[in-house]
Amino acid sequence: MPDGFVKVEGGATEQVTETTSLMVAYSAIWLILMAFTLVTFRALRSLRAQAERADKAVRELSHTPR
């Protein structure tokens, strides 16, 4: 039995080049960043609408006589 690594004759060649792998990884990072930005802006818009409704409710309550 050989000890350690054994050289493989006629091994498989790489199917994807390093440039392709790099471009796929780079694209995935940008897609994740864009999705995060979109989710953040949607959450901000929702939060802004809730704040406006709360402000309107407070103004209506402050103008009602007791």
pLDDT (tens digit per residue) in 42-62: 999 999 999 999 999 999 888
Which residues have a Cβ under 8 Å from the Cβ of 21 and sit 6 or more positions away?
A: none
Would residue 57 count as lying in a domain?
yes
Would residue 48 count as lying in a domain?
yes
Would residue 47 count as lying in a domain?
yes
Residues 37 and 65: their CA atoms lie apart, in Å, by: 44
pLDDT of residue 24: 95
pLDDT of residue 6: 76
pLDDT of residue 7: 75
Would residue 8 count as lying in a domain?
no
Domain that holds residue 41: 36-66
Max distance between CA atoms of the chain, in angstroms, equals 95
Counted domains in the chain = 1
pLDDT of residue 1: 55
